[in-house]
Amino acid sequence: MTATDAPRPAPASAGVPVLEMRGISKTFPGVKALSGVSFAAYGGEIHALMGENGAGKSTLMKILSGAYQADPGGEIWIGGQKAMIDGPLAGRRNGIAIIYQELALSPNLTVAENMFLGEEMSKNGLIDRKAMAAAAAPVLARLDAPFLPTTKVGDLSIAERQLVEIARAVAARSRILVMDEPTTSLSTHETERLFAVIRQLKSEGIAIIYISHRMGEVYELSDRVSVLRDGTYIGTLGRAEISADKLVRMMVGRELSSFFAKEHRAPPHDRAVLLKVEGVGDGRRIHDCSFEVWAGEVVGLSGLVGSGRTELARLVCGADRKTTGRVFIDGRACRIDGPLDAVEAGLVYLTEDRKALGVFLDMTIRENITLEVIARDARPGGFLNRSKARERADAAMKALSIRAPHTNLNVGALSGGNQQKVLLSRLLETKPKVLILDEPTRGIDIGAKSEIYRLIDALARAGNGIVVISSELPEILGTCDRVLVMRDGTIAGEVTGTPEAPITQEAIMAVATGADVQRAA
């Protein structure tokens, strides 16, 4: 497929597309974000839009919503009629609703007030909250929402707030619903519930444009998948054609088999033990956990949601206080009462929540990368060594392929994958012996994932000890030498493999669910 391929049509029975975007281009100062992109969606279909961060997906959808204006020459057609979308209000009038990853709700208002925000009902010149609640009720019932129109949004979970956004789109009689990475913050149960709502909306004739980096979701939901790369349209696959190999090749221009690129070899058991954890617990969630990590080894930490993986990592690294157990690094017992103690001992922790607990979005790339070593680099008298900071940041950008024009750019302006690489760069500047990486590729695109996998492999080849916590079993299988499996706050077992008989997902899940114990009994 090439960038000049026309978008593949839906079956003839689908009729006129509810949306056609023809020849859409967008230029920002010095950057061609989109180049002649065409895209079509039909009523009653789920059309996935995929591509690496920076491929142009968000820009295309912001043009659709009216947040951006396309360059002259492109056209948008809604329901067979040419539309002029010159702002967000025009987008809403044309039946377009977008639910962004960062939800745009007012937590101090009720569900009904959020649903009709900007289009409030009134009576005698006053907002009629009773009428809005009455109008919201049947919409919420239609979506099987477990809350009332009068509930404050601030009292809802992330999944429930997302349902409010969907209810707002339904109340506005939207014909086109764009969902941008909607499951990033959801549990498995919440994701399944969301999928049921999406399928219901599809059955009602709404066109759903679904943006996600998660292959499994795309396989499960999508009727068609369109791919952008570097601001150009690459092609569209029908449901029967969708496969990981095809999608990866379209998105990044290379085969899936090159993804994990695991070149390091699992070390023999007589290698140095870099991390030894003995009987660690917190008296509540985590109980008597012990394990070792050897030099040059990547150990997976797996288990179902709620099994205690992150909680254990936080205890080991001092982010939370342990009540029992000891931690040894490179053979030396270490008192780790906080993350700084861990860093000084040679142990670093990559948090699973990079935006809240990792990077500083309103600080520059250079400031983020050099934050941990700023005191070490300081000149006599405690003055900042700005030239050394620039040198470190420039080298880190090159080493980890951080895509940005310069190191003075705020991290908040970067894609998720580049933010993750900035955070990794900061940790690597401390020259750690052991790294615990908690969901290292969550919410980032396939190309950035591949680069992080290569970094993990390079660190193992250099002799570091690495623990990878991941909810994605293919990631665990592709990067790790052996896998520790947690269940109910304890390490329930270890799964190992050989080149001839590699570790399987089934073996990990058997331990995670307790099926191995049941079989043995």
Please write the tens of the pLDDT for every residue from 307-354: 899 999 999 999 999 999 999 999 999 999 999 999 999 999 999 888
pTM of the model: 0.64
Q: 411-436 pLDDT, tens per residue?
A: 988 878 888 899 999 999 999 999 99
Q: Which residue has the tokens 């279909």?
A: 45
Domains and CATH numbers, the chain: 1-95+212-255 (3.40.50.300), 259-346+432-521 (3.40.50.300), 361-431 (no CATH)
Of 136, 28, 30, 26, the closest CA to residue 71 belongs to 26
Q: 53-81 pLDDT, tens per residue?
A: 678 898 999 999 999 999 999 999 999 99
Q: Which residue has the tokens 């008192």?
A: 335
Share of the chain above pLDDT 70, in %: 93
Of 25, 85, 92, the closest CA to residue 59 belongs to 25
Q: Which residues pair with 468 in a beta bridge?
A: 300, 437
Report the chain (521 residues): mean pLDDT per 10 consecutive residues. Answer: 43 73 89 91 95 83 93 94 92 90 84 90 88 93 89 88 88 91 77 89 94 84 92 92 82 64 76 94 95 96 88 96 96 94 95 85 91 77 78 87 87 85 92 95 78 91 95 87 94 89 88 67 42
Q: Are 221 and 198 in contact (CB under 8 A)?
A: yes
Kindly give, in sequence order, each residue whose CB lies less than 8 Å from that of residue 452, ignoring residues fewer than 6 positions away.
Answer: 420, 421, 424, 440, 441, 444
In angstroms, the first-to-last Cα distance of the chain is: 54
Q: Compute CA distances 243 → 50, 182, 251, whole Å.
A: 13, 21, 12
Q: What is the mean pLDDT of the chain?
A: 87
Q: 449-490 pLDDT, tens per residue?
A: 888 898 999 999 999 999 999 988 888 988 999 999 999 999
Q: Which residues pair with 76 in a beta bridge?
A: 21, 83
Q: Are 436 and 348 in contact (CB under 8 A)?
A: yes
